[in-house]
Amino acid sequence: MVLLSMLFLGDIVISYEYCRDDAIRQNKKFENHLTHLILHSILHLLGYDHEVDEKEAKIMEEKEIKILKKLHIENPYL
């Protein structure tokens, strides 16, 4: 018997229209921008925060860039 342990961290809600329009304004692929928003949200649920101070923001941003690179998505902050 396999027992699965689940941990609820919170909800992620993304507006399709906002994501689409934001991607267009920033000249990004929709799929890449959506992936970044989801990753960014997950990191917030895990306790990362970019609004506390610049050090925390840099840690979160570097983590995002590293993960997105593994998914072949370029740095969204350039």
9-30 pLDDT, tens digit per residue, is 999 999 999 999 999 999 999 9
- Please report the domains of the chain, with CATH numbers, ordered by start residue: 16-70 (3.40.390.30)
Distance in angstroms (rounded) separating the CA atoms of residues 42 and 60: 11
pLDDT over 90 (residue 1): no
pLDDT of residue 6: 79
Look up the pTM and report it. Answer: 0.86
Distance in angstroms (rounded) separating the CA atoms of residues 70 and 72: 5
